Structures are given as structure tokens and as C-alpha cells.
């Protein structure tokens, strides 16, 4: 009987082959998926753009003005990075996709500089 690997073991395997992203990025994307599913009241599939937007909102809630620092630490600098992480997990069968799903769904969903720099500016304004 073949033992099923747990999420963290598989993520370690992914990171050993693709060191662009740290394991925390994979866990955060999974949390972002659950956050987005809950937002849309869905159990299953969400589109790439929906996921990227859900991750954005969750990241702003959790990390506030530190979001760019956290993402940078994990190797994430744009929305396409979320797609790379998702497709790495699809390739390891942690996630699945439909025929319509593509890495292109994550390309340029929003501009990190614009979205996350405004979070820092808003935070600074609160304390002036």
C-alpha cells in the first residue's frame, strides 16, 4: 500500500526542484484558495484571476504594510508568481485544473507596486 505524502512533504519536493519560491508561499496560496472559495461561497474551482485577487485581499488583511516584504521573502513579485506556484501544485496533484485554466490567467492581474505601495501609504497616513 502506497503511503500518501502530506502537503509539506510535497512542497519540499517542489522547492527542491524549483527554488524560486519558499515553502511559506505555497502554504499562503493554499490559504488564499480557501479564503477565495469562502468569499465566492464555492467548494471547488476558482479562476486564476479570482484567486490572485483573493490572495491580494487576504495578504492586505494579514500583513498590511508589510505585504511586499513578506512576498519578497517568499520570492513573489507579481501575480504570475501565484500562477507558477499553483501550477507547480497542479503538477504534483495537490490541486487540479480545468481545460480552460492557464498560467496566462495569472498574468498582470494587478500591479504589485500600485496595490501594495498604497497599503503602506495608507498605513503611514493613519499615524500622522
Domain coordinates in residue numbering, the chain:
7-126
The grid coordinates of residue 90 equal 497542479
pLDDT of residue 123 exceeding 80, the answer is no
Q: What are the tens digits of pLDDT across the range 2-38? A: 455 799 999 999 999 999 999 999 999 999 999 999 9
Cα R_g (the chain), whole angstroms: 15
Q: Report the 3 state secondary structure along 40-95.
A: CCCCCCCCHHHHHHHHHHHHHHHHHHHHHHHHHHHCCCCHHHHHHHHHHHHHCCCC
What local confidence, expressed as pLDDT, does residue 60 receive?
93
The grid coordinates of residue 120 equal 503602506
What local confidence, expressed as pLDDT, does residue 5 receive?
77
Amino acid at each position: 500500500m502506497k503511503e500518501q505524502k502530506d502537503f509539506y512533504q510535497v512542497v519540499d519536493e517542489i522547492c527542491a526542484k524549483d527554488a524560486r519560491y519558499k515553502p511559506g508561499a505555497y502554504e499562503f496560496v493554499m490559504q488564499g484558495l480557501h479564503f477565495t472559495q469562502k468569499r465566492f461561497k464555492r467548494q471547488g474551482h476558482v479562476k486564476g484571476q479570482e484567486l490572485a485577487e483573493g490572495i491580494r485581499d487576504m495578504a492586505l488583511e494579514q500583513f498590511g504594510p508589510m505585504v511586499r516584504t513578506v512576498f519578497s521573502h517568499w520570492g513573489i513579485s507579481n501575480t504570475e508568481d501565484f500562477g507558477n506556484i499553483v501550477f507547480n501544485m497542479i503538477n504534483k496533484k495537490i490541486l487540479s485544473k480545468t481545460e480552460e485554466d492557464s498560467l496566462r490567467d495569472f498574468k498582470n492581474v494587478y500591479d504589485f507596486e500600485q496595490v501594495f505601495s498604497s497599503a503602506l501609504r495608507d498605513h503611514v497616513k493613519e499615524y500622522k
